[in-house]
Amino acid sequence: MNKFKFSLIELFAVIIVILILSTLLMPSIKNIRSKAREAICINQLKQIGTLISTYTNDYDGYLPFAYGNNSPNDGRHGRLYGYWTGHLLPYMNFELKSWDKLRNRYDIDTDDIERPSAAVSDENYRNWRLSHDMFFEGGHGPLKLFICPESVNTYEPSRLPFGEYIPRIHQMGSDVGLPSSYTANVYFSNFVLHTSTGRGPTKRLEDVDGRKFLIAEGNRVYSTFNTWGFRTNFNEGGTTRSGVIGQSLFSFMHDESEELWYSDNGNVGWRNHLKLPEAQRFNKLYNPYAGAYRGYRGRGQLTSNQYPGENWENFMTPEVARNKFKIARFYPSETQMASYFGSMHLLTANLSVNKRHITWMYANVNEISQNKR
């Protein structure tokens, strides 16, 4: 009986076919995993909404405090209480020996947060292990609720050129607050309501318009102001000396853009720049493919995830023509710059979760947020 044998050519052909199929399936597998992580984020925001509702029921309707070590609402204090997330921990059956916290500085040599000698012998020293897990392991026990799994897989684009792989999670570099990949709106800060003293309770949940958002995916980023993306007064920030809520730039969690184009800042002088209604009109016309940003002293900047034309003629409006915008920078997907021009999920004051693109948010800023009272 003759035994069937593969020839060398047939074997190579089979291997090539397998490689081709694997290449074709890889994007699909990647997309499935991304969608799964996104679904987890949606579910986490819903759970956070339940915790916030429970907190407000216990404290006369007031939202958790999001700025500083001492809360005027519940009287709790400690470094981990310095952000809204810390005030929800008592509802999670999670006990800590200490509410202290190290300043979470990134160490490029270890690709981790700095670890002092005391934390080498005792990894729970000032909650070093907790912070490490929150930044680099997708969360610490039940506290995974505050970390979107997508944020651990992407890094701050502004630091990548320096060889720093910093996950897009809030509180890196700070010794105050529990790390989180979700950012609170201004209603969690008493600076909105008490700009003269910075003291007093936050806003009551029942007093917030149900269309406005409470929590959004994304990290506050300060180092990229006026450089790569959008900024606004959406989140709790801090205050300037004049008592105005500090502006913050969101870094988004979900984006499918392969490349990104940015404009220059329009004309060199201080005139002929974008006015806020002009930027909002541009965003309403072209979201989610292109957006307009009104920056420092009204300087306009455009962003697109599609080739806009050398003079932005593919997204032309009278304002674009007047300012004579041109392509200034281009970034491929590996730079992760597209994370500044993506979509996020919002937990609104009626405790529903919606997905919105940043351009939609800027076009509807008056409907979903509040700058100051």
Q: What is the pLDDT of residue 357?
A: 86
More confident residue, 121 or 225: 121
Q: What is the pLDDT of residue 246?
A: 34
CA-CA distance, 254 to 41, in Å (whole number)? 10
Count other Cβ atoms within 10 Å, centred on residue 281.
17
DSSP output for 55-92? HHHHTTTBPPP-SSSB-TTT--BSGGGSSGGGGGGGGT
Query: Is a pLDDT exceeding 70 seen at residue 336?
Result: yes
Report yes or no: 104 and 129 within 8 Å, Cβ to Cβ: no
pLDDT band at 220 (very low <50, low <70, confident <90, very high): low
* 10 found inside a domain: no
85 and 168 share one domain: yes
51 and 134 share one domain: yes
Pairing between β-strand 182-184 and β-strand 327-332 as defined by DSSP bridges: unpaired
* 2 found inside a domain: no
265 and 218 share one domain: no
More confident residue, 17 or 309: 309
295 and 221 share one domain: no
321 and 180 share one domain: no
More confident residue, 181 or 95: 181
Count other Cβ atoms within 10 Å, centred on residue 290.
23
* 354 found inside a domain: yes
Q: What is the pLDDT of residue 14?
A: 78
Q: How many helices (H) and strands (E) are present in the chain, helices listed first?
A: 8, 12
Backbone dihedral angles phi then psi of residue 142, each to the nearest 5 degrees: -65, -15
Report yes or no: 249 and 220 within 8 Å, Cβ to Cβ: yes
Q: What is the pLDDT of residue 227?
A: 30
Query: Is a pLDDT exceeding 90 seen at residue 123?
Result: yes
* 205 found inside a domain: yes
- Give the domain range for residue 288: 259-337
CA-CA distance, 262 to 76, in Å (whole number)? 44
Query: Is a pLDDT exceeding 50 seen at residue 193?
Result: no
Q: What is the pLDDT of residue 3?
A: 60
**Collapsed DSSP state (helix, strand, coil) of residue 18:** helix
* 327 found inside a domain: yes
Per-residue pLDDT reduced to its tens digit, 264-307:
766 655 445 788 788 888 999 998 999 887 766 667 888 899 99
169 and 56 share one domain: yes
Is the alpha carbon torsion for 206, 207, 209, 215 positive or negative? negative
Looking at residue 174, what DSSP letter applies?
A: -
> What share of the chain has pLDDT > 70, as a percent?
77
- Indicate yes or no: pTM above 0.85: no
114 and 211 share one domain: yes
74 and 142 share one domain: yes
User: How many domains are there within the chain?
Assistant: 2
More confident residue, 175 or 49: 49
* 294 found inside a domain: yes
332 and 353 share one domain: no
305 and 357 share one domain: no
> What share of the chain has pLDDT > 90, as a percent?
24
313 and 355 share one domain: no
327 and 358 share one domain: no
**Collapsed DSSP state (helix, strand, coil) of residue 228:** coil
Per-residue pLDDT reduced to its tens digit, 231-258:
444 433 333 333 333 334 456 777 777 8
* 73 found inside a domain: yes
pLDDT band at 69 (very low <50, low <70, confident <90, very high): low
Terminal CA-CA length for the chain: 91
* 301 found inside a domain: yes
pLDDT band at 196 (very low <50, low <70, confident <90, very high): very low
Cis peptide before 288 (omega within 30 of 0): yes
DSSP output for 292-343? EEE-GGG-EEEEESS---TTSGGG--HHHHHHT--EEEEEEGGGTGGGGS-E
CA-CA distance, 228 to 341, in Å (whole number)? 9
Letter string b/e over residues 153-191, b meaning 16 or more CB atoms within 10 A of that residue's CB? ebbbbbbeeeeeebbbbbbbebbbbbbbbbbbbbbbbbb
Is the alpha carbon torsion for 86, 90, 93, 97 positive or negative? positive
Query: What DSSP element (H or E) covers 35?
Result: helix 8-58
